[in-house]
Amino acid sequence: MKLTHLDEQDRPKMVDVSDKNNTTRIAIASGIISMSTEAFINVTSNINKKGPVIQTAVIAAIQGAKKTPDLIPMCHPLLLTGVNCDVEQLDDLPGFKLTVTTKLSGQTGVEMEALTGVSVGLLTIYDMVKAIDKGMIISNVQLENKSGGKTGDFNREQL
């Protein structure tokens, strides 16, 4: 299989998408952070000395999605039309599941933006709670589904 990010001499390149049609593209990614009961209570009780952990993580996830091309070398700068975050409290873990949905009308997909948003959001939770629990685990950062574009739709549940 020929990789699109390599030229004829196998040198890295950013893919030229100028001939592609604009289509609506949506990507949803998620990830989980597990932590100690003490850290979980700190977050859910909203008593963290650094501020509101979940709200800060959501803002960080949005910012991470927007800054993806600054972090991932071959990503195109995109004009995102929407970034939505959902945080699910996982009492039994204990921990949280962060889901990020990215959307645009454009010539290339938004999967990397959704995945980067999840990663930055979860890292923000880690940063804000690490004084209580350095053993937190970030896991299962994954693309859940995507729609739009030449390669078609992807849905993890259908694998």
- Catalytic residue positions, numbered: 127
- Calculate the alpha carbon distances from 72 to 8, 24, 131, 135 in Å: 22, 22, 29, 27
- DSSP lists the bridge partners of residue 83 as 102
In contact, 48 and 56? CB cutoff 8 Å: no
Which H helix or E strand runs over 121?
helix 111-129
What dihedral angle (degrees, nearest 10) is formed by the CA atoms of 82, 83, 88, 94?
170
- Calculate the alpha carbon distances from 138 to 36, 74, 95, 135 in Å: 13, 25, 10, 10
What is the token pair recorded at 145? Answer: 């589904």
